[in-house]
Chain A
């Protein structure tokens, strides 16, 4: 009797674990199912090479490049700002700050990632853009620069916390050897600790990139709704995620080609984040083994 109960409980717990695999399979299955129907009407070649994205206009073009460039541009700006700052924070907390300060400041930094993204969108549109416009004349009210800057604040804790964990995992004797040779803290960090922790730091950056690429509300609010192939951070663009929101807010009939565009755009986004997440998982396993 006891044994039967134990068995049933184990089966129940097991089915919860299996549920997570079902979720992944459903995501992939649904995206593929709708995307395949989309590609029956729009040639894959056009999707990948056309430089216009105008599915909601009369003159329809289905080139993903403008949405992709918008996504990559806002993410690039965010990473370019968050990486040096986040890494400096990680180094400072690991090598310079005392333990007590580190213990207090880390949860506060992590609060930056807990602020809802719609709030960051408000910051970007209502505060950062007007502030930047006062010394960048000709900057549009919707632009990727403000969205990128604000997104950088949001992803900062990903880079600072995870990089700090990676620095912390480097064995003490490596650092002590460096000090023993008369190196300063700065020299120790940049010549010994960071090189030793590099895969962990790369993981933190990849996860931050993945987060930035998928971020939706900041770009939907502040970056605009004009898909265009540009590297100019001062003009309106549209990201993949913002396009999906735009279509969802309108009333596009189900089972129409326009409806399927959000799945075609979605599978593109998913492919990027899926790749980044797998690479980071693999790297993490590798460095965990290194110092285990």
Chain B
């Protein structure tokens, strides 16, 4: 009897331990973000969003970095989405189960685990130097599209897998070809899951600094990039640059920049979750 009581006590205590652990990370993040908002909110203004970077913290803004981030987002999406979705369709709908399929699968799982800084080295050597793009937007976007390609492929495959076979069989029974079935039945049915994956991967690209620094993106860009061949900076690099300055004013700028960056990443994640939930409901 004594033992049973003890076991029940352990069982009950773990419940509290588990709740505590579940919230510790979230609570810490909330405290950190609270501090950032406290530090940076007063700096957020139209001036901050529309000013070029400057030597003086209170005159500096994130305009060029924001335009750079939008360019990067847009170009990366253009390169990564078609290739990622096509590769996933091939793997899920065409590839026969054989040795080669296995190699492709190991390879993609490996690519997903390659550190982002290594993609930076790849981009530096291939796009910046061999092709000769230097540190421009195109080189940065091509590098980031390689980085997010495995994420898009994995998410798209999951979405394709979730489409019921019934839909496929019905389409074939009506005489549709394989591609017609994919194009008109499978892809529309999987679109919610694919969109979720794409948004999450782009949100990842928006937050990346390391690979772009390696490729040669600049920390200080006093002009607005107007074509893919222009040099650029992005929000995370601008924030990094401000963090590494000694003046306290730049730390406040960094905090304000982080608020903007977090609003962008969190809203993208929120949209992705909403699409996923809506899609799941539809599938059930």
Chain A residues engaging chain B, CB cutoff 8 angstroms: 2, 5-6, 9-10, 12-14, 16-17, 19-21, 23-24, 26-27, 30-31, 34, 85, 88-89, 91-93, 96-97, 105, 107-109, 111-112, 114-119, 121-123, 125-127, 153, 156, 184-187, 207, 210-211, 213-217, 220-221, 241, 244-245, 248-249, 254, 262-263, 266, 269-270, 273-274, 276-278, 280-281
Chain B residues with Cβ below 8 Å from A215 are 115
Q: In the complex the two chains form, is B83's CB within 8 Å of A85's CB?
A: no
With A92-B15, A127-B32, A184-B7 known as contacts, the answer to whether A245 contacts B87 (CB < 8 A) is no
8 Å CB interface, B42-87 against A: 82-84, 86-87
Q: A92-B18, A107-B273 are in contact. Are A112 and B29 (CB under 8 A)?
A: yes
Contact A119/B261 with A6-B179, A244-B120 known, Cβ cut-off 8 Å? yes
Q: In the complex, what residue of chain B is closest to A121 when comparing beta carbons?
A: B243
A241 to B211, CA, bound (A): 10
- Over the window 158-188 of chain B, the binary record of Cβ atoms lying under 8 Å from chain A Cβ atoms (1 yes, 0 no) is 0000000000000000000111000000000
Assembled-state Cα–Cα distance A156/B262 (Å): 19
B136 → A minimal CB distance (Å): 15
Query: Which residues in A have their C-beta under 8 angstroms from that of B240?
Result: 118, 121, 217, 220-221
B224 at the interface (CB under 8 A from A): no
B107–A262 touching, CB < 8 Å: no
A108-B26, A112-B29, A117-B209 known; A273+B104 contact, CB < 8 A = no
Neighbouring A residues of B35 by C-beta, 8 Å: 127
Q: Are B83 and A273 in contact (CB under 8 A)?
A: no
Whole-angstrom distance between the Cβ of B46 and the nearest chain A Cβ: 23
B121 touches A31 (CB 8 A): yes
Counting from the closest, the 7 A-B pairs by CB-CB distance are A214-B115, A92-B18, A116-B207, A16-B86, A277-B113, A13-B90, A216-B210
Measured CB to CB, the closest approach of chain A to B135, in angstroms, equals 10
Report B72-116 CB contacts with A as 1/0, cut-off 8 Å: 000000000011101101110011000000011011111111111
Contacts of A216 in B (CB 8 A): 115-117, 209-210
A176 → B minimal CB distance (Å): 17
B interface size (C-beta, 8 A):
86
Q: Is the CB of A20 within 8 A of B179?
A: no
Interface residue? B214 (CB, 8 A): yes
Residues of chain B contacted by A16 (CB below 8 angstroms): 82-84, 86-87, 90
Quote the shortest CB–CB distance from B229 to chain A (angstroms).
20
Of B8, B103, B111, B118, the contact of A269 (CB 8 Å cutoff): B118
Known: A27-B119, A116-B207. 4 other contacts (CB 8 A): A184-B8, A184-B10, A270-B114, A276-B113
The reply on B129 being an interface residue by CB < 8 A is yes
Q: Which residue of B lies closest to A108 (CB)?
A: B26
* A interface majority secondary structure: helix
Contacts of B114 in A (CB 8 A): 27, 214, 270, 273-274, 277
Choose from A126, A186, A241 the contact partner of B210 (Cβ within 8 Å). A241
Does the CB pair B261–A116 fall under 8 Å?
yes
Chain B window 208-226, contacts with chain A (Cβ cutoff 8 Å), 1 for yes, 0 for no: 1110011010010000000
Establish whether residues B21 and A88, one from each chain, have CB atoms under 8 Å apart when the complex forms: yes
A221 to B83, CA, bound (A): 34
Give bound CA distance, A96 to B17, whole Å. Answer: 11
Q: Which of B25, B86, B213, B239 contacts A245 (CB 8 A)?
A: B213
- Ordered by A's residue number, 26 sampled pairs between the chains whose C-beta atoms are within 8 Å are A13-B94, A16-B82, A17-B87, A17-B91, A17-B104, A21-B104, A24-B107, A91-B14, A96-B15, A107-B273, A111-B266, A112-B25, A114-B200, A115-B29, A115-B262, A116-B261, A122-B258, A153-B29, A187-B11, A216-B209, A244-B121, A244-B210, A254-B129, A269-B118, A273-B118, A277-B114
Contact A266 B262 (CB under 8 A): no
- B213 contacts A249, CB within 8 Å? yes
B-side contacts of A96, CB under 8 Å: 14-15, 18
Collect the chain A residues with CB atoms within 8 Å of residue B113's CB: 207, 210-211, 273-274, 276-277, 280
Contact in complex: B21, A277 (CB < 8 Å): no
Q: Quick one: which of B24, B124, B177 contacts A2, CB cutoff 8 A?
A: B177
Residues on A with beta carbons closer than 8 Å to the beta carbon of B265: 114-116
Q: Whole-angstrom distance between the alpha carbons of A21 and B111 in the complex?
A: 9
| Minimum CB distance partner of A2 in chain B | B177
Instruction: Tell me the complex Cα distance, A165–B204, Å.
Output: 23
**B203 adjacent to A114 (CB under 8 Å):** yes
Cβ contact of A266, chosen from B112, B121, B150, cutoff 8 A: B121
| Chain A residue nearest to B112 in the complex (CB) | A277
With a cutoff of 8 Å between Cβ atoms, the chain B residues found around residue A269 in the complex are 115, 117-118
